[in-house]
Structure 1
Amino acid sequence: MSVVATRLVPAIALLGLLAACSGGLFGKERNLPCPTANVVSGAERITQYRPGPGRDITDVAYEAEIVPVAGSCEYVDDDKAVEVLLKVEIRGTRGPGAEGRTGDFAFFSAVTDGEQDILARQRFSSPVEFPAGRSRAGVSEEIRFRIPLKPDQFADAFEILVGFELTREQLEENRNRLSR
């Protein structure tokens, strides 16, 4: 199975989960299910520190979070595939350890099947620019997927996962934060 993901230019942010999709068949509306979309628990936040061994609040360069993802889908090619548009919003904070005005946040999207097998995974990099005098900023990214479907298969057989690309140290820090 070949799943294709492409990235679009940044767009307005939407909140919520992936909505149900609809399409027309002989002029009639039909509601067909979309894949579910979720932010991976433990990979929804990232803290980047300035270079060096320090790891206290004064060493934080940037922090960011992925807010719940939203999107839509459309069945195409006589229901042999589904095209999904996923909107990912990243909100960032510039910390006292930041040396520049742009934080760069790597994140991934993955398509899984009902067995949680990863069918496709892609890495993206999203720069967040912090205007002078502002410590908070955000960006929205749009990602398109095309998922082939077997006969009588619906898109809700798939899940789309999103999260930050984390180092072991960052993942451990997030897990510790969640357990508090």
Structure 2
Amino acid sequence: MRRVLSALAAVSIAASILPTAAQAQMSPGQRERGSSGQQADGSANAPAERAPRFAPLRRRANAGPCPFVKVLYDAARYVELEGGRAAISNVGFTGEIQGVSADCEYREDDPIKLDMDILFELGRGEQATADEKTYRYWVAVTERNSAVLAKEYFDLPVKFDGQRTASVHQERSIVIPRAGIDTSGGNFEVLIGFDVTPEMAEFNRSGSRFRVTAGAAQASTPSQ
């Protein structure tokens, strides 16, 4: 947020000094013209040749910082393992949350509206016989480094169309109430993760992993 405020301040400063800079670039004949829109001889000025250099800002700054948005490490990946054995030949459907971009808006005592774009990378291993899969993930709002305030689950239906991998963007908007005008978005943390089993969470926590391409047919080596 400090960076956003600094950027807005820089735009304001630039806008305030723009007339001076423009005047310094005028030719001597242009500087002789009056500020009332007339030439030195009293005739009207010619129409302006160039549009203003700065467009108006689209919206005002927020009242404070946005909530922190993170992917929970234990639930960042989804890996089905047939028989619970960690081997490529046992891999079914897989998934990974590759990244999240987020923005928020609130002013005065308004609630916080948070918009998110979540990128999922999904895959089919040797044990995944179907061509489609409905994954499940959740979004939780917590007090920063504290208790969970709310948690909601969402379905993510994916059709692979005969391919081994798929990329899916999910756009989500949530509203976070504020206790008062002094409560900023910095008091909240938003966590995202797959709905995983305890075994999947432990597999992720151990640092073990299979990429979404795990179990896919490997290209054959050209014969010499």
> Quick check: TM above 0.5?
yes
Deviation for aligned residue 1:59 = 2.1
Structure 1 residue 151 displacement after superposition:
2.1
Could you tell me which amino acid in structure 2 is paired with residue 174 of structure 1? N
Percent identity of paired positions between Structure 1 and Structure 2? 30
Query: Quick one: which amino acid aligns to residue 170 of structure 1?
Result: M
Change (3 A) 1:54 1:42: closer
Instruction: Measure, in 1, the Cα distance between the counterparts of 2:79 and 2:4.
Output: 33
Between structures 1 and 2, the one with greater strand share: 1
Aligned to 2:104: 73
C-alpha displacement at 1:71, in angstroms?
1.3
The answer to whether residue 69 in structure 2 is matched with residue 40 in structure 1 is no
SS in 1 for 2:201: helix
Q: Tell me how far apart the structure 2 counterparts of residues 28 and 175 of structure 1 sit (CA, whole Å).
A: 42
For structure 1, the 5+ residue unaligned runs are 1-18, 22-26
Instruction: Detail structure 1 runs of 4+ shifted over 3 Å in the superposition.
Output: none
The number of residue pairs the alignment matches comes to: 152
- Return the structure number with greater relative CO, CA threshold 8 A, min gap 6: 1
What whole-Å deviation, never above 9, does each CA across 1:62-105 have from its counterpart, x for those lacking one? Answer: 111001211111115x4331111112111011111111111222
Name the TM-score, length of structure 2 as normaliser. 0.61
Matched, 1:137 2:166: yes
SS of alignment partner, residue 186 of structure 2: helix
Give 3-state SS (helix, strand or coil) of 1:58's partner: helix
The range that moved more, 54-63 or 79-88, is: 54-63
- Among 137, 146, 162, the alignment partner of 2:192 is 162
- Which TM-score applies when normalising by structure 1? 0.75
Q: Greater Rg, structure 1 or structure 2?
A: 2
- Residues 6-45 of structure 1 correspond to what in structure 2 (within 5 A)? 29-31=60-62, 32-45=64-77
CA contact (8 A) 1:81 1:146 kept: yes
Deviation at 1:54, TM superposition (A): 6.0
